[in-house]
Amino acid sequence: MAYSLSRTLRALFAGLALSSAMLAQAAPQKVIVDMDIGDDIDDAFALGLLLQSPDIEIVGITTAWGDTALRAQLLERMLRETGHSRIPVAQGIPTKDNPQPFTQARYAQRGKLPAKLDAIDFMLDQFKRNPGQVTLLALGPLTNVGAAIQRDAAAFGKVKQVALMGGSVRSGYSKSQYVPARPVDKEYNIVSDIGAAQTLFTSGVQIVMMPVDSTQIRLDEVERTALLGHGSPVTDQLALLYHQWINAYQPWSSNTPSLFDVVPVAWMIDPSVCPLSPLRIVVDNEGYTRERPGTPNARVCLTSDQKRFFHVLMPRMLKD
């Protein structure tokens, strides 16, 4: 009898443990998105995928680099038009040396400036409130990230992980998947604020790094037409932003965007999109992200699975 009761209790506790694990797995992943939306178009597609993913909870969005107030206006309009006005938007540190054109400025100018919320304060407060639970998706230059670490390293250390699009580890930019990539490059997000990148990579927090080696996935015509012609609230806003981006760069640029910033989002949804390798990465004073011997300080995706990437992206984006 005692044996039978003990076996029953073990089965009960095992069932409770399994239920708890299933509930934990089902809980949405909390993210703060730090982004320079409005210059290139990949940020907008990254945000679109986040908005279409119920398994991700956007705790807030912080604007990085250049005219961070105008970026906040862009976000306010996009979130309002897609029914996501509840998501907080915080302004990051503005900079005057952004070499990229703000291609989607006309869209942004029709947005409203959100109530003033400081990006650094917002990040640190959320990490303290939710220790070990919030992923920071860093999709632009790392100015806000470096400033947050310098302001309160202990609070920043409560972040679950920093998943960033940035760097160039074994190969550089390429015009096409059919053309060999250039040698290792100084990648834009890193070289824009080298000091901030060095601060992050020596901070001791968990880093997931998606360099240009694995993020140069292009949105070709078939997929692009399907998305931009879909007619949902999210894809309608992406269509407006995409055509402003095209208008700013034509006639000297391709109309096929590279979805750099979308890859970390797809990885959060399905880690098999971008398998990770533990590496030691050092940001040198020129802005190169050098692979060095020693204890790994980052998990790095060197090659992505493009088929899996589109299996994540397309069904979610084509969902009403």
Question: What residue ranges define each of the domains in the chain, with the CATH number in brackets?
Answer: 29-317 (3.90.245.10)
pTM for the full model?
A: 0.90
- Report the DSSP beta bridge partners of residue 135: 31, 161
Q: What is the pLDDT of residue 13?
A: 41
What is the C-alpha to C-alpha distance for residues 131 and 150, in angstroms, rounded to an integer? 18
Q: What is the pLDDT of residue 33?
A: 98
Q: What is the pLDDT of residue 25?
A: 56
What is the C-alpha to C-alpha distance for residues 35 and 62, in angstroms, rounded to an integer? 6
Compute how many other C-beta atoms are within 10 angstroms of the C-beta atom of residue 305.
18
Contacts of 181 (CB under 8 A, 6+ apart): 171, 172, 173, 174, 212, 213, 216
What is the C-alpha to C-alpha distance for residues 182 and 170, in angstroms, rounded to an integer? 10
Is the distance from CB of 123 to CB of 144 less than 8 angstroms?
yes
Q: What is the pLDDT of residue 9?
A: 39
What is the C-alpha to C-alpha distance for residues 186 and 173, in angstroms, rounded to an integer? 9
Q: Which residues of the chain have pLDDT under 70?
A: 1-25, 250-253
In sign, the C-alpha dihedral spanning 40, 119, 203, 65 is: positive
196: left (phi over 0), alpha (psi -120 to 50) or beta: alpha
Q: What is the pLDDT of residue 12?
A: 42
Query: If you count DSSP H runs as helices and E runs as strands, how many of each does the chain have, helices first?
Result: 14, 9
Of 316, 270, 284, 294, which is closest to residue 45 (Cα–Cα)? 316
Q: What is the pLDDT of residues 74-123, one digit of tens each?
A: 999 999 999 999 999 999 999 998 888 999 999 999 999 999 999 999 99
